[in-house]
Structure 1
Amino acid sequence: MHVMEKGRYRVRPAETPADVEAAQRLRHRAFAADRPGAPAQGRDADAFDGRCTHALVEEIATARVVCCFRLLPLPGGARIGESYSAQYYELSPLSAFEGPIVEMGRFCVDPEMTDPDILRIAWAALTRHVDATGVQLLFGCASFKGTDAAAYLDAFAMLKERHLGPKRWLPRVKAPKVFRFAARLRRKPDTRLAMRRMPPLLKSYLMMGGWVSDHAVVDDEMDTLHVFTGVEVGAIPPARKRLLRAVAE
């Protein structure tokens, strides 16, 4: 991933241990700091960090890290079992996927920042990276805050109605606690409420033609519900591709 600047922000790859630590500290603030008993300061770190490329979005004027994510490149679906997502989903259907794939994980924006340009430049940098490396599948876990599925029933109903993955790629259940929304929900989604409750990262995936697993994993450790999400690059709508590339120029 190369350095990219747009407006107030810069995206660059982490180059030093201090850069990775800055990402881990932002991840802690975004994912853990508001949990009961969690320290205000800390680091969100795991064994995958050493295998990934970390991207930092910085405010140019202050060098403050306002967003981060990590990328785990794999040569094809046969290696998808090495991904972070494979801890929670049985991904053998995707082992037949041909071409380079990349897992995007730990995507977060500083909770104090609300500027939509942060998300735009992050996706623009990712678009450049995908184009440069020939990635065919972008995937990861998209998370809903908290573990109460009842708070997100319209969002899950919309995922069932419009965004379930193709049967040939659909992940199978592996985690001990899951919410099988595709099997359980019979309601028609309230579109406005569904979109209001949909996580921003998942919205971005869906606008690119992304698809999701038929169940959500209940992750008590992270205090989230998450769904496996895949974006087949060749299936991104042409208009969306043009928009992403225009921002990336």
Structure 2
Amino acid sequence: MATFGESDGAAESGGVLLQRGRYRVRLALDPEDVARAQALRGQAFFGPEGPSDVDAFDPLCRHVLIEETVEGTLLACFRYLWLDDGAAIGTSYSAQFYDLSRLEAFGGPMLELGRFCLRPGCGDPDVLRLAWGAITGLVDRGGAGLLFGCASFAGTDPAPFAPAFAHLAARHLAPARWQIGRRAAETCEFPQEGADARQAMPLIPPLLRTYLGMGGWVSDHAVVDRAMNTLHVFTGVEVAAIPPARARALRAIAA
């Protein structure tokens, strides 16, 4: 496992990965920055008065902040874990919940994205767009071949998401060579019938829709995470398989 980002040039510019208009995307540079991200995660995941979201993976990851430049308001954040190749997949956050043994054969660098959240009430699509531009820059500088993480649905009742899960099962399962196995104590099956894209897409979280638009794929089941009050699916995107038009659009943002 490697911590990519310490010497990629961002630190020399105050950690700034990307800046456009009134927004900037930068690396967390000190414990205070990390604490701000953890506090925002708590608000996003547990409610306005929720406690900070802190876990054992925070010290292993780099944290990225998306801020409004004038006031410095934190609008979004995420963290990433850089892995040199598939042999390190067992050290990832996702490996707690999924059997990722087939991905041990993946031969190139990998980037695990996690804890992505927006400040409650922040609806500007430019924030998400800039986040993906920054991620694209990280991927290109380090030569990552796979992006992966856990994509979450709010709540632990799978019934409201049945159309979404049926759509994922019909259209977006991981290829056989990377099939994701079960590890979590509590999981739910995907429906094998009833796929309807028109019903499914409004139920799929924006982050997961972005993954799917890049050719992403998912596990064949969801994990019930009662600690976070979510259902989540393992999601992977092979960088080489991203549609060329989408790759050009992302690199235009990152440029």
TM bin, normalised by shorter chain, reads: over 0.9
Partner of 1:81: 90
Q: TM-score, normalised by structure 1?
A: 0.95
Partner of 2:24: 10
Q: TM-score, normalised by structure 2?
A: 0.92
* 2: CA distance, partners of 1:194 / 1:9: 32
Local SS of the residue matching 1:155: helix
Residues 1:137 and 2:146 are matched in the alignment: yes
Partner of 2:238: 232
* 2: CA distance, partners of 1:186 / 1:72: 33
* 1: CA distance, partners of 2:20 / 2:197: 33
Partner of 1:105: 114
Deviation at 1:41, TM superposition (A): 4.3
Contact 2:83-2:109 at 8 Å conserved across structures: yes
Deviation at 1:171, TM superposition (A): 1.2
* 2: CA distance, partners of 1:10 / 1:158: 35
* 2: CA distance, partners of 1:81 / 1:96: 12
Greater shift, 188-197 or 137-146, is seen at 188-197
Task: Name the count of aligned residue pairs.
Answer: 241
Local SS of the residue matching 1:168: helix
* 2: CA distance, partners of 1:56 / 1:146: 26
**What are the residue-to-residue correspondences of 1:195-214 with 2, within 5 Å?**
195-214=201-220
Unmatched tracts of structure 2, length 5 or more? 11-15
Structure 1: 4+ residue segments shifted above 3 A: none
Deviation at 1:193, TM superposition (A): 1.9
Deviation at 1:247, TM superposition (A): 1.4
Give CA deviations for 1:17-61 in whole Å, capped at 9, x if unaligned. 000000000000111126xxxxx0421011110011100000112
Partner of 1:121: 130
Unmatched tracts of structure 1, length 5 or more? 35-39
Give CA deviations for 1:201-230 in whole Å, capped at 9, x if unaligned. 100111111000001001111100000000
Local SS of the residue matching 1:62: coil
Contact 2:170-2:192 at 8 Å conserved across structures: no
Local SS of the residue matching 1:68: strand
Decide which of 63, 66, 70 is 1:61's aligned counterpart: 70
Partner of 2:13: none
Partner of 1:22: 36
* 1: CA distance, partners of 2:145 / 2:180: 18
Local SS of the residue matching 2:64: strand
* 2: CA distance, partners of 1:84 / 1:111: 25
Local SS of the residue matching 1:99: coil
The CA RMSD measured in Å over matched residues stands at: 1.0
* 2: CA distance, partners of 1:16 / 1:60: 18
The aligned amino acid for 1:7 is G
* 2: CA distance, partners of 1:111 / 1:165: 32
